[in-house]
A and B are shown apart, each in its own frame.
Chain A
Amino acid sequence: MKKKEVPQDDSKLEKANIKDMVYAVDENGEYTTELSTGWEPKTIALDNAIKVIEERVTEAKKRVLNNETSPIEYYMELHKMDLPILASYVGLWKWRVKRHFKPSVFRKLSLRTLKKYADVFEISIDDLKQLKG
């Protein structure tokens, strides 16, 4: 890529005042670096990835309200986590966390266990128990 061809498209990075460093060649064929505000193909890729997460969050919320899963799964999705990541944060086995997704099991959880989840999600135990529709 030539230095003057380094794309300067809109991106989320731009708004946070971060620029991506790219390697490119100058007129004499010598390598140099150039800052880029963004490139459309990767902006679309990132937007799509975020959309997938948003869909997962909406879906999880629906399932909580339908009493098909516990708020833990909703907050897990909200924090872009998956089961192994959440299990690692609360320090429990994956199968235990998965079990806590069951509304009937969730209702009987001890305050101590609830606090573990609430701390990871940085919310109060009350907020964890009651998902506002």
Chain B
Amino acid sequence: MQIDFIHKQTAHCENGVVSNLMRHNGFEVSEPMVFGIGSGLLFSYLPFLKVNYAPVFTYRVMPGLVFNRFAKRVGIKVKREKFNSPKKARASLDENLANNNPVGLQVGVYNLVYFPDEYRFHFNAHNMVVYGKEGDNYLISDPVMESVTTLTVKQLEKVRFAKGAFAPKGHMYYPISFPQELDLKRAIVKGIKQTCRDMTAPVPIVGVKAMRWVAKSIRKWPKKLGAKKANHYLGQIVRMQEEIGTGGGGFRYIYAAFLQEASKELNNVRLSELSREMTEIGDSWRDFALDASRIYKNRSSESDGYNKIADQLNELANREEFFFKNLKNAI
């Protein structure tokens, strides 16, 4: 049993599942559009929450939020189900496939066999589409992969019932109702407004304020934590910024692509200028990652290096603050 489903690779899994499921239902919405309307862009620092023995830095919003916001803003309804029993979870999945309905699944990465070992961490917010079943194999469209793949019934059950933070509990979701026509214009404006608000929020753990907090902390790390731990923390920042799914530059390039598309959709030239500016900001984030990697490559604990990248991060905070104020005025 196989549903006629078009797989298209995207940078990020959640955007990709939404974009691919929308296409299947007859609506062509690009990955940047999903990300922008869903207000996916962010910066957040959660020093009290540790993953892999380092604090959490994130360049995007919480898993699931992009789809929920996107759905609300363009007027589609999403059905979400979680399960206590793997057996029920499988039965429900099979039923949807039998009804010709491809579904999105939230899964854990650690037991995802087609990923290389080095990438298999206990991260439970990966997303994929299941679009069919042949014998003992489920047909999988994983948006970060170039082509489709398969997982056995047992393999899929394992990733659907991964444990730990954000345990998926078999989480399955799919759109159930659509408007006659997608009103992208209004949705774009709403999406942009929220991102501007989040990035300039007067809260220390999100947006430009969080960047400044991280910059301040980086200066203290070599003395407070020692070179080894300080470098481990820096590595965590770079990984969160550049690892699979960010599209490069901590999602800034995807956002720039969104602004370019939005500029055409809204007939607003100013957004196109701001897209170019966002690209330059993305480039500076790449420079920041490159310079940070030089520190942990040389394993140096010279505070000079740390101060230098802290300066870069502060500069980025200033530029993004200015940017999002301009963006708010542009719409």
Binding site for B on A (CB under 8 A): 1, 6, 12-13, 15-25, 29-31, 33, 35-36, 39-42, 44-46, 48-50, 52-53, 79-82, 84-85, 88-89
Contact = CB atoms under 8 A, between A and B. Distances in A.
B248 A24 contact: yes
Contact of A21 (B52, B144, B296): B144
B302 interface: no
Contact of A52 (B165, B232, B260, B282): B232
Nearest to A82: B53
Contacts of A35: 146
Interface in B274-299: 275-276, 279, 282-283, 286, 289-290, 292-293, 296-297
B116 A22 contact: no
A48 B247 contact: no
Interface residues of B, number: 53
A88 B163 contact: yes
Contact of A25 (B50, B145, B279): B279
B257 interface: yes
Contact of A80 (B122, B232, B289): B122
B118 interface: yes
Contacts of A89: 163-164
A17 B122 CA distance: 22
Given A12-B119, A45-B235, A24 B253 contact: yes
A59 to B, nearest CB: 13
A13 B122 contact: no
Most chain B C-beta atoms within 10 Å of own C-beta, residue among A1, A16, A45, A80: A45
Nearest to B120: A80
B195 to A, nearest CB: 17
Contact of B235 (A20, A22, A48): A48
Nearest to B143: A21
Interface string B118-148: 1111100000000000000000000011100
B116 A1 contact: no
Given A45-B239, A48-B296, A23 B32 contact: yes
A52 B118 CA distance: 12
Contacts of B9: 21
A44 B32 contact: no
A1 B282 contact: yes
B104 to A, nearest CB: 19
B239 to A, nearest CB: 5
B253 A49 contact: no
A23 B238 contact: no
Interface secondary structure of A, over-half rule: mixed
B11 interface: yes
B248 A22 contact: yes
Given A1-B279, A42-B238, A21 B118 contact: no
B11 A21 contact: yes
A39 B286 CA distance: 10
B32 A31 contact: yes
B224 to A, nearest CB: 18
Given A41-B242, A49-B235, A84-B164, 7 more contacts: A12-B119, A22-B248, A31-B253, A31-B256, A49-B236, A80-B120, A88-B163
A30 B260 contact: yes
Interface in B235-277: 235-236, 238-239, 242-244, 247-249, 253-254, 256-257, 260-261, 275-276
Contacts of B244: 13, 18, 20
A101 B256 CA distance: 50
B322 interface: no
Contacts of B119: 12-13, 46
Nearest to B239: A45
Given A1-B282, A23-B253, A24-B248, A49 B144 contact: no
Contacts of A16: 114-116
B214 to A, nearest CB: 16
Given A18-B145, A22-B253, A80-B122, A41 B11 contact: no
Given A22-B248, A41-B290, A15 B239 contact: no
